[in-house]
Amino acid sequence: MRGWLLDTNVVSELARPKADARVMDWLRTLPPERTFISILTVAEIGQGIEALGPADPRRQVYGRFRDRLEVDFAGRVVPVGDDVVRLWGDLSGRYRAGFGGRAPVIDALLAATALHHRLHLATRNLRDVVRLGASAFSPWDGDSTQYPLS
């Protein structure tokens, strides 16, 4: 694997006033050039901002956070292109056949992105992501030494 794709739940720790120390300690160990986010994470943060009331002061705080995130990850925001979407379809179909029900769409797209780009996926939602076939790690309680970078 060539690096890490950070799920929205990991990235969101950066904006929390009382972020989980385990997640923050782990993030500090990562080489920036091997750390990526998906454009889906940027969109999910935007979704959260838009769900707040128009006068909610957190809109500005989270808007600045999203803008800063895009600057900090410039050149490392992974798009969802045709190849990823095709892989998402395959993974989602296998998930449905193997486990019944539908895989969560965003989780499946992130898993497809990680697989396509040869990235480990850092997430709190291990169950579905692992079922989709991605290499997944939880910085809340996992051991990152089991996920070497090549």
3-state secondary structure of 76: coil
- Give alpha helix (H) positions in the chain: 8-11, 21-28, 39-51, 58-72, 82-99, 105-116, 126-131
The rounded distance, in Å, linking the Cα atoms of 20 and 123 is 13
pLDDT class of 126 with cuts at 50, 70, 90? very high
pTM: 0.95
pLDDT in tens, 28-72: 999 999 999 999 999 999 999 999 999 999 999 999 999 999 999
DSSP 89-117: HHHHHHHHHHHSS---HHHHHHHHHHHHT
pLDDT in tens, 82-111: 999 999 999 999 999 999 999 999 999 999
Per-residue pLDDT averaged across 19-30, rounded?
96
Q: Per the structure block, which two tokens stand in for 95?
A: 């998930």
Q: Is the pLDDT of residue 150 over 90?
A: no
CB neighbours of residue 58 within 10 Å: 13
Backbone angles phi, psi at 53, to 5 degrees: -65, 155
Please provide the average confidence, as pLDDT, over all residues in the chain. Answer: 96
The rounded distance, in Å, linking the Cα atoms of 56 and 126 is 32
Residue-range domain boundaries for the chain: 3-146
- CATH ID of 3-146, from 3.30.420.40, 3.40.50.9100, 3.40.50.1010, 3.30.70.890: 3.40.50.1010
Q: What is the pLDDT of residue 93?
A: 97
Q: Per the structure block, which two tokens stand in for 130?
A: 């692992």
Q: Name the amino acid, one letter, at 57.
A: P
pLDDT class of 14 with cuts at 50, 70, 90? very high
